[in-house]
Amino acid sequence: MAASGDPRAAPTRDIESDVVLLLQACSAALGERVLEDVRAACGTEVRYGDGYVFQHLQAGACSITELARRLGVTQQAASKQVDDLERRGLARRAPHPSDRRTRLVELTPLGRRAIEAGRESRRAIAAEVESLLGARRAGTLRRALLEVSDRFDAVDRMARRELRPESAR
DSSP state at residue 96: -
- Give all strands of the β-sheet with 103-107 in edge-to-edge order: 62-63, 103-107, 91-95
Alpha helices in 58-103 (DSSP H): 64-71, 75-87
Domain annotation covers residue 71:
yes
pLDDT score of 12: 77
Residue 8 lies in a domain: no
Angle at 37 between CA 36 and CA 42, to 5 degrees: 100
Domain-embedded: residue 68? yes
DSSP 8-state class, residue 167: G
Give the max Cα distance, the chain. Answer: 69
Write the CATH number for 23.
1.10.10.10
What's the number of domains the chain is made of? Answer: 1
Does the residue 118 lie in any domain? yes
Question: Whole-model pTM?
Answer: 0.83
- What's the CA gap between 5 and 11, in Å, rounded? 12
The tens place of each residue's pLDDT in the chain, 169 residues long, gives 555 566 655 677 788 889 999 999 999 999 999 999 999 999 888 998 898 899 999 989 999 999 999 988 999 999 999 999 999 999 999 998 898 888 999 999 999 999 999 999 999 999 999 999 999 999 999 999 999 999 999 889 888 877 765 544 4
Does residue 7 form part of some domain? no
Residues of the domain holding 112:
13-168
